[in-house]
Amino acid sequence: MGELFSTFGINVSLLIAQIINFGVLLLALWYFLYRPVLSMIDARQRKIEEGVQNAEAATTRLKEIEGERDAVLKQASLSAEEILATSKSRAQEKATQTLADASNRAESIVSNAQKQAEEAKTQALRESQAEISKAAILAAEKILREKQS
């Protein structure tokens, strides 16, 4: 084997030194480069997995929120319809009540006007009777005076 090394011009002590140097370099690279790179890759992989999990959780939460939103919108729509129906019925009741009040007031005004007209008619008849009585008395006096003269 020594002849083989010498034929190719290989120095055995130099080869052993280079093997030792290569082993030291390999250990140094493994310790200072390979392990930190692997730990960075692992950390990055964990971050990516967390990101994927967070995205899935966000998607799930978004679906839940959309479901809640739909339920709230449906409830709000039902409440709005109920309020609208209540408002319409109250408005109808108020309109009916206002119409009834107006009718009662109109009847009251007409009744008062009729009473006042009756009173005015009665008053006019009394005044007319009083004037007719006076005129009759004056006419009777005049006739009596003419007959006496």
What would the pLDDT profile of 35-52 be if each residue is shown by its tens digit?
A: 999 999 999 999 999 999
Section 110-125 average pLDDT = 92
Contact yes or no for 17/24 (Cβ under 8 A): no
Give residue 61's pLDDT.
Answer: 96
Residue 57 and residue 72: Cα distance in Å, rounded? 22
Residues of 13-42 as b/e, b for ≥16 C-beta within 10 angstroms? eeeeeeeeeeeeeeeeeeeeeeeeeeeeee
pLDDT band at 81 (very low <50, low <70, confident <90, very high): very high
The residue-averaged pLDDT of 118-132 equals 91
With 0.75 as the threshold, say if the pTM is over it. Answer: no
Residue 148's pLDDT band (boundaries 50, 70, 90)? confident
* Higher pLDDT pick, 119 / 145: 119
Question: Is 62's pLDDT higher than 80?
Answer: yes
Tokens of 56: 């899935």
* Nearest residue to 2 (alpha-carbon basis) of 14, 19, 18, 10: 10
Q: Which residue has the higher pLDDT, 139 or 105?
A: 105
For 52-89, b/e burial (b = at least 16 CB within 10 A) is: eeeeeeeeeeeeeeeeeeeeeeeeeeeeeeeeeeeeee
Confidence (pLDDT) at 44: 96
Structural domain harbouring 49? 2-148
Q: Please state, in angstroms and rounded to a whole number, the distance separating the CA atoms of residues 75 and 67.
A: 12
Look at the chain and report how many structural domains it folds into. Answer: 1
β strands within 16-124, DSSP E: none
d(CA 96, CA 123): 40
pLDDT above 70 covers what percent of the chain?
A: 99
Per-residue confidence at 139, pLDDT binned at 50, 70, 90? confident
Q: How far apart are CA 85 and CA 81, in angstroms?
A: 6
